[in-house]
Amino acid sequence: MGTKDVKPTRSELIELKKKIKLSQSGHKLLKMKRDGLILEFFEILNKAKGVRNELDDAYDNATEKIGIAEAVEGRMVIKSTALALKEGPVISLESHNIMGVVVPKIEASSVHKSINKRGYGILGTSSCIDETVDSYEILVDKIILAAEIETTMKRLLEDIEKTKRRVNALEFKVIPEMQEAMDFIRFRLDEMERENTFRLKRIKA
């Protein structure tokens, strides 16, 4: 809103006053939302750091185990065992709400299976394979956790940015411009009043 295209009328002035008041309360609310989001983000950040490290550890462990299993049993055995597995982890996605940001809550079922439910023969395979399966199940668990937390972080970051931009736009652009317009109207109204008194005086004289 440029200063030039406001009409210097009293009703416009009242309208502007109302608008400024509304924007200021909106600004206050958005500021609180931003602070809240950042607080929430800090909590998630701490979790995310831990989860990342755990994920890397789990991955290293799993690759080591499968390496051993391949060395002991041979690649073909591992592959055929892998093909025997039928049941996979099922992920369910739920969403919950952090200060207006919808974040996913990922839950997995049947990642960990007991040895006799895995689908391959226990007698035909060695304990190396069991260990490998175990370590990969742990890895999948960690992946699901990491996916949840990292998605939450992404969403929160996006929203923090958006809210921050809104707060700044209100604070540095919208409100000052309206105030400027208000000052302009006041000035014009005063000026018109002075002109009027002067004119009246001239007519009288």
**Can residue 174 be called a binding residue for another protein (CB under 8 A)?**
no
At a CB cut-off of 8 Å and minimum separation 6, what does 204 contact? none
Query: Cβ of residue 30: shortest distance to another protein, in angstroms?
Result: 15
Q: How many CB atoms lie within 10 A of CB 148?
A: 20
Q: How many whole angstroms from its chain centre is CA 76?
A: 44
Interaction pattern, residues 89-108, with another protein; x per rule: CB under 8 A: xxxxx----------x-x--
The rounded distance, in Å, linking the Cα atoms of 56 and 160 is 28
**Can residue 48 be called a binding residue for another protein (CB under 8 A)?**
yes
Query: Cβ of residue 80: shortest distance to another protein, in angstroms?
Result: 10
Q: How many whole angstroms from its chain centre is CA 120?
A: 42
The rounded distance, in Å, linking the Cα atoms of 117 and 115 is 5
The rounded distance, in Å, linking the Cα atoms of 177 and 22 is 14
H-type alpha helices, the chain: 10-73, 75-84, 127-169, 175-204
Residues 56-85 that bind another protein (CB under 8 A): 56, 59, 62-63, 66, 78-79, 81-83, 85
Handedness of CA 117, 121, 126, 129 (dihedral sign): negative
**Can residue 129 be called a binding residue for another protein (CB under 8 A)?**
yes
* DSSP secondary structure code for residue 50 in this structure: H
Residue whose CB is less far from another protein, 25 or 126: 126
Q: Can you tell me which of 86, 201, 202, 204 binds another protein, judged by CB under 8 A? A: 86
**Can residue 173 be called a binding residue for another protein (CB under 8 A)?**
no
**Can residue 20 be called a binding residue for another protein (CB under 8 A)?**
no
Binding footprint of another protein on the chain (CB under 8 A) = 38, 41-42, 45, 48-49, 52, 55-56, 59, 62-63, 66, 78-79, 81-83, 85-93, 104, 106, 110-111, 113, 118, 129, 132-133, 136-137, 139-140, 143-144, 146-147, 150-151, 153-155, 157-158, 160-161, 164
